[in-house]
Structure 1
Amino acid sequence: MQIGANSLLQEMQSLSGEIPAGGINTQITRQVNNTSGSNFGELLSQAVGSVGELQANSASMASRLDMGDTSVTLSDTVIAREKASVAFEATVQVRNKFVEAYKQIMSMPV
């Protein structure tokens, strides 16, 4: 089953209306909606940067929890870690698709 980029974007936009304000997809939805006229390299760089921020936030929360900071709960730490994990896995999948596309282009006869 092939999933087109447009149908996936439409589905993400329709789902974003179902998530309460300040939900998980708020930042991602804003980035998707503000892509008109943007350079692909810049968008990719921003996406990788936000994955790095999620990972740094997760590590910070974990270390604060380990040190006994009472303002950080275990559930918040686990949620932050899962967000970082999902974002990283998505980034790896995008990279794999780029590598696959590159290999297909390079194997085309000229």
Structure 2
Amino acid sequence: MSVQGIDQLLGELKAMSAQAAGQSAAPAASDTGAANFADMLKSSIDQVAQVQNSAEAQQTAFQSGDPNADLQDVMVSLQKASLSFQTMVQVRNKLVSAYQEIMNLQV
């Protein structure tokens, strides 16, 4: 997930929080925000999958003896894939925690 994506997510969360506090009725804006959030989440997951697939392809090329496959490049790509997956898991954990907290709020 890029810094720009995180900033956009924070902006949307602040806007939703302001709407909830002011109780202004804007259902169309919240539907649009939900779609943007879903699209952003899907694109982030797709990026993680792409990094993992690329690392796996480089690893397979190195194992098959491809002369263009360098061990250092393979190791770096595997570490990038691992780090991106761990980041995605942490973001998911935060989202689940936030969802549970919202569900426990008394209205």
Q: Does 1:93 align with 2:80?
A: no
Q: CA deviation at 1:86?
A: 0.7
Distance 1:48 1:84 in 2: 12
Matched, 1:61 2:58: yes
CA RMSD, Structure 1 to Structure 2 (Å): 2.4
Gaps of 5+ in 1: 1-26
Share of identical aligned residues, percent?
32
| Richer in helix (by share) | 2
Quote the Cα distance in structure 1 between the aligned partners of 2:42 and 2:60.
27
When normalised by structure 1's length, the TM-score is 0.66
Higher relative contact order (CA 8 A, sep 6+): 2
Q: Which amino acid aligns with 1:45?
A: K
Q: Which runs of 4+ in 1 moved over 2 A?
A: 35-38
Choose 1 or 2 for highest CA Rg. 2
Cα distance, 1:28 vs structure 2: 3.8
> Structure 2: which 5+ runs fail to align?
12-31
Could you tell me how far apart the structure 1 residues matched to 2:79 and 2:55 are? 9
- Letter of the 1:101 counterpart: A
**What TM-score does the superposition give when structure 2 sets the normalisation length?**
0.68
